[in-house]
Amino acid sequence: MPAERVQKIIAAAGITSRRKAEELISSGRVQVNGKVVTELGTKADSEQDHIRVDGKLLRGPERHTYIVLNKPKGYVTTVSDPEKRPTVMDLVRGAKARVYPVGRLDWASEGLLVLTNDGVVSGWDNREDRNPMFYELSLRQMQQEGVPSDHIQVAPGQAIGTYDESLIIREFAVEHRLHRLLIVTSGYHSRRALWSLRRACEGSGIEVGVDSAPPGWQTPSPWVWWSKRRGWKLVAGEYVKMIYYWTKY
């Protein structure tokens, strides 16, 4: 099996998130073949090398778990909620695996919901480490704008949230010696995306800029922003998330 970054192996084993795995490595709590590693770029082979976290040997990728839940009203379909509302994760606290909801039912809805640690089922293709739907849409859009296919690269890794995505982008940029990054994202999401990436890239010497995608599927028009309830909710939600990010990261 090809060598992978140690933090990715730890996350795949279900020990913690990739960001927390980086903190474990930096604090000297991870060993590879008996030697403490503190460099985030350290790679290992999960099948050949002995990796320990706080002295405990990793047992390889975690087994897939599938939970079918009859979601009641009054729970948000998310892993964590900045507004501290009850989430569907509160209903599966007894699960031994770190699972994530597949799809979404809103606060007032009830019905069938699946939670799993299987990346393929939850929308991620573990073999290619990407979200198939958004990958295909982004690829098609860039090709339509004239970007050659061989100039498009996919940063490997899986993330839960914008800050985790930023850490993956930073790793990719450092590994490929990129010094400037331009993030193109949804208009309502641009401020949080810029803050997250700048925070993740602190001390790396990487310059970061941001631009908004044109109005369309992911970016509402200005008319929607200020005349529709959806626009106000998106903007208000982003400010709540920004406060959450400032306090957590």
Report the CATH architecture of 66-116: 2-Layer Sandwich (3.30)
Q: What is the pLDDT of residue 165?
A: 81
DSSP string, 48-74: TS-EEETTEEP-SSPPP-EEEEEEPTT
129 pLDDT tier (thresholds 50, 70, 90):
very low
As a whole number of angstroms, the distance between CA 123 and CA 125 comes to 7
As a whole number of angstroms, the distance between CA 110 and CA 172 comes to 40
Least confident span in 28-37, 60-69, 92-101 = 60-69
Q: Please tell me the pTM assigned to this model.
A: 0.46
Nearest to 25 by CA among 16, 112, 111: 16
214 pLDDT tier (thresholds 50, 70, 90):
low
Which among 45, 49, 81, 106 is annotated as catalytic?
106
As a whole number of angstroms, the distance between CA 213 and CA 195 comes to 17
Would the pLDDT of 130 be above 50?
no
How far from each other are the two terminal CA atoms of the chain, in whole angstroms?
34
Residue 106 designated active-site:
yes
**Cβ contacts of residue 14 below 8 Å, gap of 6+?**
61, 62, 97, 98, 117
Question: What is the overall mean pLDDT for the chain?
Answer: 78
Q: CB–CB of 105/78 below 8 Å?
A: no
As a whole number of angstroms, the distance between CA 89 and CA 80 comes to 8
Tell me: the pLDDT tens digits for 165-209?
A: 888 888 888 888 888 888 877 666 777 888 888 888 888 888 988
Would the pLDDT of 217 be above 60?
no
As a whole number of angstroms, the distance between CA 84 and CA 29 comes to 31
Asked: is 4-57 a CATH 3.10.290.10 domain? The reply is yes
The winner for highest mean pLDDT among 7-16, 46-55, 129-138, 204-213 is: 46-55
More confidently predicted of 226 and 237: 237
Report strand pairing: 207-212 vs 180-185: parallel
Query: Where do we find the tokens 């400032």?
Result: 246
Q: What is the pLDDT of residue 219?
A: 59
Start-end ranges of CATH 3.10.290.10 in the chain?
4-57
As a whole number of angstroms, the distance between CA 71 and CA 115 comes to 11
Start-end ranges of CATH 3.30.70.580 in the chain?
66-116
Tell me: the pLDDT tens digits for 21-49?
A: 888 999 999 999 999 999 888 899 887 88
